[in-house]
Structure 1
């Protein structure tokens, strides 16, 4: 564990750990909560439909659902190829041939910035393991809403299970570090007004890197001001409200 890699071995796993595995040559990672006895609860749109184009590109570009085909189901999990939402899979199906990594909580700002790739750590502190497991099993039975690659994805699910934090301004249950990284990179390249202050390659690189780091940092769930801890039993009710109604409910909670 460290700045270079969060890779761990299976015998290091503990129930309540937030784990992930890289997909498609490290293009993105799939996240879940290890619950013990070789099982992982995770959130997926299923059948390779994360992008939602309705074409074969959905499976080629992104696929976090279990990799077994209906003709060759997993002997432990059965056929999960057409399932979506929150599901429980064996760790082999979850990893889908990839390596195992542990998401880190409660890191300091310097460490967070040094981990330039999003979706590996957060400044937010984790709740006790029993709370994490309660949320994961509750959501397995009651769902986590509709999958959205930028607002409500597998990393958002795992972060909520670990922290109980809800982003009240967008009715999203967390903020994916992976999504934040993609948006931060786009912001650094396209929308930074400071890019016109220098014409040198080094200067442009420094400006872009600075914008990327700042954008990632202010988007982290552990530093944002538009979050509140919400009991898992209230999530379903809150999702049916609009943003103003959510804010009202938050005030009542406070």
Structure 2
């Protein structure tokens, strides 16, 4: 399925494989949130810590969630997944039930051509070759333990995290339009510079 379809790929929970990169739209489709499915109905994902808590609280008001994060994180576990906060306080890598992640989600695509990449919506695919799925799961769990640095919407976001787990390289198509100089079109920028922009680096 990956690398062949030119449309957004929706997927059911029953069809997910450990290591799949999934995403879900937030705020009426203005941006997408990304994570790595690790099996047993759970997803490892990365976001601003308070943002993660707010999203889970808003979407699952009856769930027991992390109530507060400070120097000594205090949490009450989800009755199903235990809601694990990974890394040091403020790192923002978490593991949760897929129901906490989203109720509807799509499958992110890898190894797409540059032509396809430009025609697809931002934040749905990546031109890089993916590692084996089991390696993506291992990387996601490693970052759950150690963190992924400080969350930054433009330079270190959830798509950066998920693509790093799958390829070993940070990539976020969502940030390209925002980080380009004013008046510059993506097709006018050398591919090497676009890769830096997508990775959250300066050019």
Tell me which of the two structures has the higher relative contact order, counting C-alpha pairs closer than 8 angstroms and 6 or more residues apart. Answer: 2
May I ask how many residue pairs the two structures share in their alignment? 181
Is 1:93 the counterpart of 2:100 in the alignment? yes
Runs of 4+ in 1 over 4 A off after TM superposition: 63-66, 78-84, 213-221
Q: Is the 8 A contact 2:13 2:41 kept in 1?
A: no
1:99-248 → structure 2 map (5 Å cutoff): 99-115=104-120, 117-165=121-169, 174-184=170-180, 187=181, 190-192=182-184, 211-215=185-189, 221=195
Shift of 1:160: 0.5
More helix by share: 1
Q: Could you tell me how far apart the structure 1 residues matched to 2:21 and 2:52 are?
A: 23
Structure 1 residue aligned with 2:29: 26
Q: What 5-or-longer segments of structure 1 have no aligned partner? A: 51-58, 166-173, 193-210, 228-242, 244-254
RMSD: 3.3
Sort the Cα spacing of 1:72 and 1:129 in 2 relative to 1 into closer, same or farther, 3 A.
closer
User: What TM-score, normalized by structure 2, do the two folds share?
Assistant: 0.75
Cα deviations by residue, 1:137-176 (Å, 9 ceiling, x for unpaired):
11111111111111111110001100112xxxxxxxx131
Q: Could you tell me how far apart the structure 1 residues matched to 2:11 and 2:193 are?
A: 27
What is the SS of the residue equivalent to 1:31? strand
1:16-95 → structure 2 map (5 Å cutoff): 16-48=19-51, 63=55, 67-69=59-61, 72-73=63-64, 74-77=78-81, 85-95=92-102
Shift of 1:4: 3.1
Q: Which has the larger radius of gyration?
A: 1
Sort the Cα spacing of 1:78 and 1:131 in 2 relative to 1 into closer, same or farther, 3 A.
closer
Q: Is the 8 A contact 2:90 2:150 kept in 1?
A: no
Q: What 5-or-longer segments of structure 2 have no aligned partner? A: 65-77
Q: Could you tell me how far apart the structure 2 residues matched to 1:100 and 1:216 are?
A: 32
User: What TM-score, normalized by structure 1, do the two folds share?
Assistant: 0.61
Shift of 1:65: 7.7
Q: Is the 8 A contact 2:21 2:34 kept in 1?
A: yes
